[in-house]
Structure 1
Amino acid sequence: MNHDSLSFALAPCQANDGDARITASIVPAKQRVDFLPRHFGARAMMKFEMSVYDWMGNLCPSYRGGFWNYVELSNGGAFMYPAGVDAFEFTVEGNGFHGTVSAEVAGIIATTFALNGMLWQGWDSLNAKYELLLEFIGGHPDAMTIRRALD
């Protein structure tokens, strides 16, 4: 990847094996058009993107849409997060999670829920992306909060 490293709260993460650091990079504007098909496939990309937005709306009633950053991970994973907002109040009805999270963490949570939901619907081609995102979450500075929201 030849992208600039993220300048927000996401620090490089330690992979599960302790050897490799997973870094996150925002996709530059000129490469955004390739992000969804490259990471989620031509068949699944629109459903995936809409699912992320739907999850965000369900988890954060104050969310009203807007521009999203695309992020690529050095391990091959990817996620999206809403730009231009610092934090969101999140509620996960199924597990009792309630709290304020950064926009980046909100995007990671919404992306993870979207991937998981599509896997349950039979989109097995997304399994590797789901696993790579979980690997990144494992070493994320806000891993405990993310896991509580996903639990």
Structure 2
Amino acid sequence: MTDLTQVTLMFLIFLWMPLFIVLFRFHMNPDPHLNKEAITFENKVQQRLYITLRNNGYYVRVKEKCGPYTLDLVLPYYRVALRCKIDAEKIEDLGKRNYLRKQGWKVVGITEKEVDGKMTTVLHKIEAAVLEKIK
């Protein structure tokens, strides 16, 4: 082998191989703090919404603590909290909503009927809340 070939080979081995290994590890587990096996959902609305949001590129956290309250689903970068409700007639906790607003969160209520209907309308509702928080 010539000297140039040896230098090129050394360059590839010592510089690029560790970089590829690190990138491969992050690709396999992009969020090391999120153990997908440990996620438990309270209802199917949460689960379907979580999967849909992750598939659409959102970073979603489940059961996030905010003061004395636990939030169903959260888009932490935008400070949008998603309240997943099974029954549309269920009485909302206004104290919780007011507390979250004072902490800078935008609360969006999502019902089972909306999730079972058209998921695109739910995504538009969430995107509107995200855009409102960005402005």
Quick check: TM above 0.5? Answer: no
Using the size of structure 1 for normalisation, the TM-score is 0.31
Using the size of structure 2 for normalisation, the TM-score is 0.33
Greater share of residues in helix: 2
| Larger relative contact order, structure 1 or 2 (CA cutoff 8 Å, min sep 6) | 1
